[in-house]
Structure 1
Amino acid sequence: MAEHLIVFFDVISFLAFLAAFVVLFRVPREGMGRSTRAFLQAALFIYILVVFSNVLEHSGITAALDPFEDYIEITFPLLFTFFLYTAMLRSEVGLRLISEKQFLYAIDMAEKRFQAFTEHTAALVFIKDADGRYLYSNREHGEFTGGSPNYRHAMKWPEELKRVLKEHDALALKTGKWLGEETVLDRNGQPCMFQVSKFRIPQEEGIFLIGGIAIDITEKQKLDQDRRRLATILEQLGEGVMVTETDGTIVFVNRAFEEIAGYSQKELIGQNSRILKSGRQDEKFYRELWDTVVAGRAWKGVMENRRKDGSFYHEQATIFPVRDETGAIIQYAAIMRDITRELEMEETIYQSQKLETIGQLVAGIAHDFNNILTAISGYSGLAISSLEPGSKVRSHVEKVRDAGERAAALTRSLLGFGRKQMIQPRVLDISEEIRKLESLAKRMIGEDIELVLKLGKEIPPVFADPTQIDQVLMNLLVNSRDAIHDAKNGGERKIIIETSEAELDESYVNTHVGSTVGPHVLLNVTDTGKGIPVDIQLKIFEPFYTTKKSGLGTGLGLATVYGIVKQNNGSIFLYSEEGQGATFKIYWPVYQPEGMVSEIRKEFPMDNSAIRGDGVILIVEDEESVLSTARAVLETAGYTILEAESAEKALEMMESYEGPLDLLFTDIVMPGMNGMQLAEKLSEMRPGLKTLYASGYSEAVLEQRGLQGLDASLLLKPYSQGELTRRIQNLLNQER
């Protein structure tokens, strides 16, 4: 009975599968894919054969196995699977057959959605064949090209551009996609940059189309270029730039800021700006700064910060808030310029100007002082001449004269600082001058200090007064000796004097106030003393400034050195650190014969012995004490004296005076008419009249006042009676 039942089911299954097979083969082609149809047809055919063979088997050919169990284990799963698949297929096919209109409607809607998307997007959308002919393009593409997708103007594109585009198409066909940038020409021939995505679209067997979407990035590229240009400018900017978050965290610094602060960008990014604080500004300073920028205003000012190496620097800074499009403050930016060197230069210039002003003041004082010394020297000389040698009174007067001479030496030092000292320069070798002073220098500094000479050979000559060279060297040696004695550190006790050639260029001159471009001879004096603190270095060339104990220094040594160097168009600089000794560098211009301007005058020594003579001399002097001294000296020497207190009175006198006149002895700078104007008018009245000028000013000052060309007819105050009478005799003995 069971076998008959199985056969019955097999027959029913066979008939059902046969019906499904027929239905399957009647499904329209458009209702199912070709691969799916072939698979189902083959499966049904095989299954019908299996069922048919099973019917034969259960008809009595085989009985070894339990027929019903075999059917359940093998046939039923296949039957169930097939019926399920057939039901799903039949349901889909049925729906498609019944709803063909709905199917076509869905396709139409899908096409409309595609059109709506492509026509309203800002991107260029296109489809073209493998030869580059456009099969579809959206409206944006048409507006860009100016018409049909196969636009005529593309034919005018450069061949290189066409070749590149074809290469991109070929890569898309070969690999399935290509993504990159393309530059094409718009309808007006202007180049435009696009971000392009090209992809392969399968068509028939072995045939593919090229689809593409292109987004115009021309403006973006311009913005990127502007951004890169701005970044380049920031990197090449000479000023430092720093950007921080609102909490002070550093997010950007440029190269100039790295150079200023000494940190690398990597070391600064992520750090708080407090890393740069020097501690030399109080909290009030920073609070005012932050209050300003937090309130949305820019802060401008000077601050002192600390570099990575611990050194300090001053910067001129502008700090301002950075806002977003809503106006909210999102960051802070700072533009900074290192002005450390500028401040140092300003201080140097200030000191130079101060010394110049002091020099002018000192020169004026020395001029007045010279008038007083002239009277002291003259009257003391006259008194000594009239007193018996060895007398007590004469001894007292000689001490007065000696004090006057010391005062005159002090005055010359003041004039040296003020660059008003008369000099007698000549061409000389500084190294040779130093060798002449070596033995004297060793005795002066003492045996406990080693003197080392490192003098250059065949260095070029300079144009200088050898006495001034000696004066400069001795003052520097005394300064170094005292610095070594003050050190008391038990270390090396040495003074080194060096000479060499030096060429000063523009870069050096621009950073060293007072120096000049050109060849120089460098004189270095270095000691191992206690060094000079920074706050004192700016004052050491000031007259009367000294750090020595009372009575141990006049404060004029380095001031005199400074004045002498400047008078000879040289420059002097100090390099010193406290506890590390000091080096004075003096740059003396090399002798250049052409265009040399000198103040060649001979300073006669004080001489108390007057030289007698005869003749009539007119003395014109506005300072009564000087006038009376000159009159007394010259009358004692045998001359007949006429005198006047001004140039105007002298002219009035000469208009009525008909007697002889051999020489005019006149002060140069006087109220009203000066001595040179007086001499000119008297020469018209008395041709051939000889003139001797006197002044407490140097020729340099006189030239500034428009009084030049005095040649050898100038006598500097204070002068001795011997000096005055000798100069007058020399002039009177000259042939008319």
Structure 2
Amino acid sequence: MHHNANDFPLLDHVSSGVLAIDLAGNIVLWNKTLEQWYGENRESMLGKSIYDCFPLLKQEEIRTRINSIFQDQDGSTLTFGPDQLLFPCTLSDGKTRAQQVTVSLLTDHALALFSIEDQSNQYELVKNYKQVAKDLQTELEQKAALESRNARLISAIDQAGEAVVIINHSGDIEYVNKAFYQQTGWNKDEIDSISFYNGLFADRYESFKTHIDGVFTAGETWQGRQEITCKDGSSFTASISIAPITDQHGNVTHSVIIQEDISQQVIVDEKLRHSQKQEALITLVGGIAHDFNNLLAGLVGQAYLAAREVKAMPKTAERLKKIQMISQEASEIVKQLLTFARQGEHESKEFPLDAFIKEFSKLAQHTVPESIKWSFDFNQANYAFRGDANQLQQSLLNIVQNAVEACSDTAEAQISLILKPLQDDEDTFRFIKKYPVLRYGNFAHILIKDNGCGIMAENLSKVFDPFYSTKQLGSGLGLAIVMGCVRHHHGIIDVNSKQDEGTSVHLFLPMKAVKPEQDFSHPQGLTSAKILLVDDDTRVLEPTKELLESMGHDVELACDGQDACEKFESNPDSWDIVITDMVMPRMNGLDSAIRMRSSRPDIPIIFATGYDQSLVIENTRKMKNSVLIGKPFNPDELDQIILKMIKKS
């Protein structure tokens, strides 16, 4: 049956495109809307195969579905969405027309009716809606990410070790983190009631306010150190950095202040400066002592020789002996300087510390006036100790002398000396907490305490400084020498004192788990020796040669290590002993001794020194059949050492 638009006149007035096909697939209806969309009039389209005109319909799945319309007598419909574009049609703007296609069966006419609805506007709205939804989702995600970052930033600031403070132009605090509360002692409820300027800087805030005002006016940053006042009135040193916070127009609205407590760093810096100052002083003292010892060596030698030559003049001989005694006293002072400088010769031997302390107590008691009560107590233990007994005795005497002077104006004054091992008590725990090394070793605890005038708190940190003294005629070397002694023995010293209550000096010395060494007796009788005497200082060389010759020895001189080696190597077996200075030009004493030992390994060597560094001392002690003595030396003792070494070799 042939059909045309006149059979369906209403279809020319609908906005949708409408066409119909018969069972063979030929187009039998084409309304005016389609004419407008495709530019093809009705007459040209009727009778054409829909599959030829719109190739997408040839797809097997789609064609099968269209054919099913004719087979289904119930008048079911098919719908194809905009994504399939079965009837492509271009709009005026070049875009493809979005369409919704519905296929239904006209049962009475045996036709399949296609309704093509233009959904370009709706599709564009949906598309825009999806874009809006996507943009909104992106914005929400960005906002959530920003909030998350801000939360992490706030958490990081709040957990930071440095205090962070935000203030406004008036100095009012608007934000602080936890570190601020910990540093200053203020709590959250009190922050609103204090001004950053007045509350934290007391009478120092004016200078700091100037820096903050500069941040607000010039927008510049500032860094520096400032004393911060805590809630309880105490203060601490802080490293402070101030930076401006600006609004969107670049105007400074607030300042952020980052505040780090550097109290410990200040203490460490001060200790470092003090240590550097002390090391420079040690170097100076060591150099002076070396030169002074050389002068004393020459003076002692000359006085000794002169005394021998004027035996017929008793008064003159007596004066010369006094010169020798005074020179020896000066030598002892230099030894104290070298002890302080950690450059003196140390005779380390092993001995029982308890026996030493018992003997020292007897000695110390003679230096304590009868007006001061002296007490001594010790706990039985294994006190095997290796060290320099003379140096330790001198250090303890210095402490006792300080205690005696502190008790000079004290009624019922008393000084106590106590020796005990480290015990599990409250005092020991306090010292272990302060000096953790005590936990891992076997230490003896020596305590000297008095009930004298005590030490003012501001002076307590200076008591070990060299040449520091509160006494008008004090040398200031007493406790400085004690400190040098304790350090040499790898020990610890601690001083506790309160003004008008007294002072306690604690020494902790490491013990040894070995038996003390036995001393050797001096050789008996006298013999002469062929001696090679080496020194670059003629003030020492000439009088020493004379006094050795006066003792019956045959002496030849060398002006430095190189000269000594040349003379020694000309006939190595002719020498009985070598006495050499340590510090000389061209070749020092240690290097020349090593060279001479290569020619004759058994030659006894005496090293004489005005001062020597610890490394040189250690190297000379490793050399067998050698002795290290300090200048100036006692002539008779030197003679005994020479004979003892020759006999031993």
TM-score, length of structure 1 as denominator length: 0.61
Return the alpha-carbon distance in structure 2 between the equivalents of residues 538 and 280 of structure 1.
28
CA shift, 1:548, in A, is 0.5
Instruction: Trace 1:75-114 onto structure 2 (pairs within 5 A).
Output: none
Alignment of 1:566 with 2:479, yes or no, is no
- Determine the structure 1 residue equivalent to 2:509: 588
1:191-211 Cα offsets, whole Å, 9 max, x none, are x89xxxxxxxxxxxxxxxxxx
Cα gap change, 1:508 to 1:473, in 2 (>3 Å): closer
1:672 aligns with 2:593: no
Q: Partners of 2:261 and 2:271 in 1: how far apart?
A: 17
Q: 1:694 aligns with which of 593, 597, 608?
A: 608
Change (3 A) 1:449 1:345: farther
CA distance in structure 2 between the partners assigned to 1:586 and 1:243 by the alignment? 50
| Cα distance, 1:322–1:534 mapped onto 2, change above 3 Å | farther
1:320–1:332: 8 Å Cα contact kept in structure 2?
A: yes
Instruction: Using the TM superposition, give the Cα deviation of residue 635 of structure 1 relative to its aligned residue in structure 2, in angstroms.
Output: 0.6
1:348 to 2:271 alignment? yes
Note if contact 2:573-2:600 (Cα within 8 Å) is conserved in structure 1: no
**2: CA distance between counterparts of 1:143 and 1:470?**
100
Residue aligned with 1:718, SS: coil
Deviation larger for 570-579 or 416-425: 570-579
Offset of residue 409 of structure 1? 1.0
Q: Which residue of the other structure, out of 705, 716, 726, is the alignment partner of 2:630?
A: 716
* 1:233-312 to 2 correspondences below 5 Å: 233-278=156-201, 281=204, 283-284=206-207, 286-312=209-235
Match of 2:34 in 1: none
Equivalents in 2 of 1:524, 1:501: separation in Å? Answer: 12
How far apart, CA to CA, are the structure 1 residues paired with 2:584 and 2:471? 40
Between the aligned partners of 1:244 and 1:428, the Cα distance in structure 2 is 68
Give the direction of change, closer, same or farther, for the CA distance of 1:681–1:470 in structure 2 (3 Å limit). Answer: closer
- 1:551-700 correspondence to structure 2 within 5 Å: 553-576=474-497, 581-591=502-512, 612-653=526-567, 660-683=574-597, 688-698=602-612, 700=614
Q: Percent identity?
A: 26
Q: Give unpaired runs (5+ residues) of structure 2.
A: 1-121, 425-429
Aligned positions of 1:410-429 closer than 5 A: 410-427=333-350
Deviation at 1:315, TM superposition (A): 0.5
SS of the residue corresponding to residue 392 of structure 1 reads helix
1:481-519 Cα deviation digits (max 9, x unpaired): 323446x6x79866675755399xxx999998x989843
1:431 Cα shift? Answer: 6.1
Structure 2 CA distance for aligned equivalents of residues 264 and 356 of structure 1: 46
Q: Which residue identity lines up with residue 622 of structure 2 in the other structure? A: G
> 2 CA distance for matches of 1:389 and 1:266?
96
- Per the alignment, residue 644 of structure 2 pairs with 730
Pair 557,255 (structure 1): closer, same or farther in 2 beyond 3 Å:
same
Amino acid at match of 1:476: I
Computed over aligned residues only, the root mean square deviation of the Cα atoms, in angstroms, reads 4.5
Q: Deviations over 1:438-490 (max 9, x none)?
A: 4544554445555676766648765433333333332223223323446x6x7
How far off its partner does 1:377 sit?
A: 2.3
Report the CA distance between 1:238 and its aligned residue: 0.8
Measured in 2, the distance between the counterparts of 1:236 and 1:459 equals 52
After TM superposition, the structure 1 stretch with the greater mean CA deviation from structure 2, 381-390 or 302-311, is 381-390
**Which stretch of structure 1 is more off in the superposition, 305-314 or 621-630?**
305-314
Amino acid in the other structure paired with 2:398: N
Q: Which residue of 1 aligns with 2:16?
A: none
Greater CA radius of gyration, 1 or 2?
1
Q: Structure 1 residues 390, 252: closer, same or farther in 2, change over 3 A?
A: farther
Which amino acid in the other structure matches residue 641 of structure 1?
A: V
Match of 1:334 in 2: 257
Partner of 1:482: 405
Aligned-partner Cα distance in 1 for 2:327–2:561: 29
Q: After superposition, where does 1:158-237 map in structure 2 within 5 Å? A: 217-237=140-160
Instruction: Extract structure 1 runs of 4+ deviating beyond 6 A.
Output: 138-147, 490-494, 507-512, 514-517, 600-605, 655-659
Q: Deviations over 1:80-119 (max 9, x none)?
A: xxxxxxxxxxxxxxxxxxxxxxxxxxxxxxxxxxxxxxxx
State the secondary structure of the residue aligned to 2:465. coil
Q: What's 2:470 paired with?
A: 547
What residue is the counterpart of 1:173 in the other structure? Answer: none
Matched, 1:501 2:422: yes
Q: CA deviation at 1:637?
A: 0.9
Q: CA deviation at 1:663?
A: 2.4
Output the CA distance in 2 between the equivalents of 1:448 and 1:423.
36
Alignment partner, residue 12 of structure 1: none
Partner Cα distance (2:285, 2:521) in 1:
22
How many Å separate the matches in 2 of 1:244 and 1:560? Answer: 53
Task: Count how many residue pairs are aligned between Structure 1 and Structure 2.
Answer: 521
The alpha carbon displacement at 1:693 in A equals 2.2
Distance 2:152 2:169 in 1: 26
The answer as to whether partners of 2:494 and 2:507 remain within 8 angstroms in 1 is yes
Q: Which residue of 2 aligns with 1:169?
A: none
SS at match of 1:713: strand
Output the CA distance in 2 between the equivalents of 1:341 and 1:684: 54
1:648 match: secondary structure = helix
Counterpart amino acid of 1:350?
A: R
Q: Is the 8 A contact 1:523 1:587 kept in 2?
A: yes
Distance 1:467 1:496 in 2: 18
Distance of aligned partners of 1:458 and 1:267 in 2 relative to their CA distance in 1, 3 Å threshold: farther
